[in-house]
Chain A
Amino acid sequence: MSEQKKASFSLASWKQLLPVLARYKWPLVVVIVSNILLAGIDLLFPLLQSRAVDDFIMKGTVAGFGGFLLQYTGLLIVEIVLLVAYFRSCMKVEMCFGRDLKEACFVNLQKLSLDYYNVTSAGHSLSRVMSDTAKIAEATAWTFPNILWALAYIPGVYAVLLMLDARLALTMIVLAPLVAGFTVYFQKRLIALNREVRAQHSRITSGYNEGIMGAKTSKTLALEGKLTHEFEEITSKAAAAGIAHGRMRAIYVPLIVLCGTLAASATLGLGGSLVMGGRLSIGVLSAFMTYALSLFQLFRQMAMFISGMVSLQANVERVADLIHKQPTVVDKPEVLERYGDCFAPKKENWENMRGEVEFDDVSFRYIEDGEEVLSHVSVRVPAGGTVALVGETGAGKSTMVNLVCRFFEPTQGRVLIDGRDVQARSQLWLHSHIGYVLQEPHLFSGTIRENIRYGRPEATDAEVEAAARAVHLDRIAAKLPCGYDTDVGECGDKLSTGEKQLISFARAIIARPAIFVLDEATSSVDTETEQLIQQATKTLMENTTSFIIAHRLSTIRQADMILVIEHGEIVERGTHEELLRLGGVYHELYTTQLSKQEKNIS
């Protein structure tokens, strides 16, 4: 097609997907071969028609008609067999190739580090896994063979035309470059217009997303009219884009048809005079007209197929990129050898974890050349110790916790678990020993029981209920219609944030971790419940190393060690009493606010 398209179409990303496609080599071969053979059969039918006219009707006899019928029927049977083979193989290629691409994406998504997730929205990744792969598989199975079909059929038609009568074929040879020219001209514009249509459609989708998900907020702000008005502007633009696309298409498609019908008209005139001069049979003339009426449509179809493949480029790049993206946190080969990866762990080689955690001169920045989030942090937490991290938002508390979980690697320095570099053992080993509770709890669809059990699948019902009792979830479960077997609803929509936090707390407890990470774990739980939880989990947490981030100082006061973090550095460390005595940042934070409180009360 056009030069420009060739330039933008690169095979490099397609090649990256080839190993997956290669698994379906044979069905693909069947698709291609049967399709090309079908092109041949399609070519033969008009010829048979012309034979019916010339050999029987014009001669006025039905002698030999039996043989003709036999040929015709034979061709039909071959066509049916080919069609079945073609259809089933296409389906197989589409579905299996799509399935394998989806799985390859999903597998790599399980390995990619959190830096990927921090900058990529879930919706974006989801559409790569679901829709990009489906489009690629569909085009590979159906569009690509159709291009080959058209590539075989168009020259085929010309060969037949030239063979039948070179003089008559001339019209269609002369018109071909014209039709090709129209196609290139219009296709380019249609693609651009279509891009605009799709862009407007995605704006409509996000308009609905916002209008529906933000409906509660827009009600409280009485923004309904304003938002509706803005949405109407978007739909107007979308309608205009659709109409513009329709208009352009309304010239192009009839133009191609016009070329075909004009060619047929010319054939009728030219061929007619040849017939009258006895230099052409009527059968051949009718075959010519049949070919003329359909030929140029093929140009259009081929252009459609090719632009379909070209527009797939972006999807292919996105999927190839996702499948081959390297995680930033990787286990070394010798570690994988001994401990296994996250899908096939070698648990027999796993050591128990005591839970001693040490930061050895650790510095960290999220992006290269970016701001240092942690600088030269050194601290040792003995097994079973409780560490509270205090500091402003953005001081580096969550980063420290992320490094303990090895969601990121330190830019400098080492994190040691039980005295060994965290990189010396596998990520799964580490994660299997961590209990993690997030401020924004994520629950999976299923029952409360299933969600708690997510922490340790082999836990018994009694253990699940014990964990639930520890966080006072039993009171809440008792109020629910099905108790622990109540469905939490998709993403836990049916429960309050506080209740979700309790479930995710129970999930962490049941995992029997060596290290607890509580990142604002109970921020949405009322004080009374929180205190009850603290008492209940005290014994549980005694033998567990705990990292606690909390705004409430109640939790913090009881910690074995408090780390005050400012601008990525530990500025003070010690127990509550020690830090108060020290008279530094922590003391200031504590006393100034305490005095304010007293003043208020008095």
Chain B
Amino acid sequence: MKTKGRDWKKAQLLLHHLRPAASALLLGMGASLLLTLLRMAFTQVVRFTVDGVLLGDVSSLPAFAQSLAPGAQLAGACALAAAIALGRFAVSYVQDSRLPMGSERFTKSLRDALYSRIQRLPYSWHVQHAAGDIIQRCISDVEVVRAFVMDQLLELLSTLFMIVTCVVIMFGMNVKMALLATAFVPVIVGYSILFYHFVSAKFVKADEAEGALSAVVQENLTGVRVVRAFGREKAELDKFREKNNHYTDLWLKLGDWMSAFYTLGDVMSILQVFSIVVLGVHMCVGGEVSLGVYLAFVSYARELTLPVRRLGRTISEMSKANVSMDRLLYILEAEEERTTESPAEADLHGELRFEHVSFAYEEKPVLRDVSFSIPGGKTLGVFGGTGSGKSTIALLLARLYDPDEGRITIGGVDTKDMDLHTLRRSVGIVLQEPFLFSRTLAENIAITKEDASREDVALAAQNACLDASIGEFRDGYETIVGERGVTLSGGQKQRTAIARTLLSGAPVMVFDDALSAVDAKTDEAIRTRLREAAGGSTLILIAHRVATLMQADQIIVLEDGRIAESGTPQALLETNGAFARAAAMQAAMGEEAQA
């Protein structure tokens, strides 16, 4: 029952995305079937010409042609053949242009659906899933499903149609010979299915070996500095060689199987034609069939050969699509973020409160009963060591996660009641490892505010101390960064992300250790400008360095997910708490000099 539901879901998936392709596919398929009939008809013209005209057996001709002179009969046959040829051309055009059109429309629909779904899946989903695997699904599995629909399903249909038509015509011509010719069909199909079933596991293994080889190369390339600095080239080569040889050997073995299979398949196909020749010659000589019929049989048997052999492969490869569809459904069925119905309006510049917030990640408690508040437009410092839960504050604030207990309000409204899109646009988070998109620097900075003027962008860049770096690029603000452009240093990325958030003018801005890769002088320069640049926005600075938080209006200190102390920086320094101890330690270590 369960697999049945699953299959139904897969069918629904296909049907849904086939909808935009339906008209093109139906037309293409219709043309394809008509084409099969025309091909068969051509052979029949040859048959009647040989028997009725060339061998002079007028009675075998259709009635209307019997009274014509032999020359006219021949000319008529020739003209008919040419007409069929022209018809085939026209119908082929329809088939060959419509089927790719359907294929493209189908894949577009599927690809768009995947992309859109992935964008709308919750943050936690992205944390739990490796990007490489998801990308792989979107590229390879989509291709497998496309091949399933376009190559396998459609080919299955047209091959079956062809076999049926062929069989009907053959039995119409001569039962004995038809029996012989069709007897081979199930044998060859069955043989192919069995074989592909047998080797498919080996194919999977070979593919995995290729993946393992690729992973070794990838790691070697990205870790080149480590490999060199430790002088491990030889070991790397050994590792590579082992995987490379293994992969090659698997394919060579597979090659042996394949060569045996292909050859045996060839033998069967040739035997099919061969046996028709032998039987046909004897029957012709015995006067049981005419020469034209014999020639038509040879020609049909030959036309059947390849499609029938491909049929076995097609059928056995269809199971691949099953796995791929599961892998795609896994993404398409993942639960999207819930949108809030009839969202509440809120003054996002208002007071920000955490009320008894607790949160556990994968059953590990991260925040426990955290409560604090900060008036709008003020600066809150969040201090804590690695693993204290301080970054989680930012994630909860933007509702990238929802708290297990307690609530978070801005301007008195629970963030759960707000429109998610508006909330996220209003809470500008700068992550420690920000991602830049493949476009120009200016476009990256203005990504949430496309109508920003040149001056606004330049001002934001200046406030993030990015202007000097931009001046060093040949194309300045038009420098393309990201995947298909210049690779920026960690510090440059962080500063671009800061500029991006500053420009957005979000009412709440969160900097989560956002300057970790920036040098000391720049770090300080940015921080002194930050309050002013942020305007009336509420600022949250998350850090483990005391100096970073000295300008905050208020600081909360997190230890093991709990608020250990809170107050103004000055007040905290006067106590003997964790913040004061860290300040003393960092002062002693000269940390403050680096500020």
Contact = CB atoms under 8 A, between A and B. Distances in A.
Given A99-B248, A224-B120, A243-B100, A251 B570 contact: no
A151 B225 CA distance: 50
B516 A523 contact: yes
Given A69-B278, A239-B108, A493 B100 contact: no
A273 to B, nearest CB: 6
B215 A206 contact: no
Contacts of B570: 601
A498 interface: yes
A326 interface: no
Interface in A498-537: 498, 504, 507, 511, 517, 523-529, 531
B544 interface: yes
A600 B585 contact: no
Interface stretch (B188-196, B351-359, B427-435): B427-435
B240 A103 contact: yes
Contacts of B247: 99
Residue among A223, A455, A497, A554 having the largest count of chain B Cβ atoms under 10 Å: A554
Interface string A176-219: 00000000000000000000000000001111111111111111
Interface in B130-146: 130-132, 134-135, 138-139
B270 to A, nearest CB: 6
A268 B81 CA distance: 9
A434 B229 contact: yes
Interface string A462-501: 0000000000000000000000000000110100111000
Nearest to A65: B281
Contacts of B101: 243, 246
A106 B274 CA distance: 51
Nearest to B221: A122
B550 interface: yes
A2 interface: no
A212 B118 contact: yes
A338 interface: no
B233 A110 contact: yes
Interface stretch (B83-91, B156-164, B173-181): B83-91
B214 A257 contact: no
Contacts of B214: 126, 130
Interface in A61-77: 61-62, 65, 69, 72, 76
B500 interface: yes
Nearest to A55: B281
A559 to B, nearest CB: 11
B217 A130 contact: yes
B400 interface: yes
B226 A440 contact: no
* Secondary structure call for the A interface: helix
B594 to A, nearest CB: 5
* Secondary structure call for the B interface: helix
Nearest to B75: A269
B585 A531 contact: yes
A497 B517 CA distance: 12
Contacts of A247: 97, 100
B591 interface: yes
A29 interface: no
Contact of B232 (A65, A107, A126, A454): A454
B123 interface: yes
A389 to B, nearest CB: 12
B262 interface: yes
B222 A442 contact: yes
Given A273-B71, A511-B230, A235 B259 contact: no
A521 B225 CA distance: 14
Interface stretch (B5-13, B249-257, B531-539): B249-257
B132 A490 contact: yes
B213 interface: yes
Given A99-B244, A526-B544, A553-B593, A76 B251 contact: no
A457 B235 contact: yes
B233 A52 contact: no
A597 B118 contact: no
Interface stretch (B47-55, B58-66, B197-205): B47-55
Interface string B464-490: 000000000000000000111001011
B251 A95 contact: yes
B463 to A, nearest CB: 18
B5 to A, nearest CB: 28
Contacts of A95: 248, 251-252, 255
A106 B237 contact: yes
Given A69-B278, A222-B425, A232-B115, 20 more contacts: A53-B294, A88-B259, A91-B251, A130-B210, A204-B111, A207-B115, A213-B131, A257-B89, A261-B88, A272-B49, A272-B53, A392-B522, A432-B230, A439-B517, A444-B219, A527-B544, A528-B385, A529-B385, A593-B520, A601-B570
* 6 closest Cβ pairs, A-B complex: A246-B100, A91-B255, A554-B589, A269-B78, A250-B96, A254-B92
30 contacts: A52-B281, A57-B294, A62-B281, A80-B263, A87-B263, A95-B248, A106-B220, A110-B220, A110-B236, A212-B134, A213-B135, A213-B435, A220-B398, A221-B425, A222-B420, A235-B107, A243-B104, A250-B93, A258-B85, A275-B54, A276-B70, A286-B295, A427-B231, A436-B226, A443-B223, A517-B229, A551-B523, A552-B589, A554-B591, A601-B550
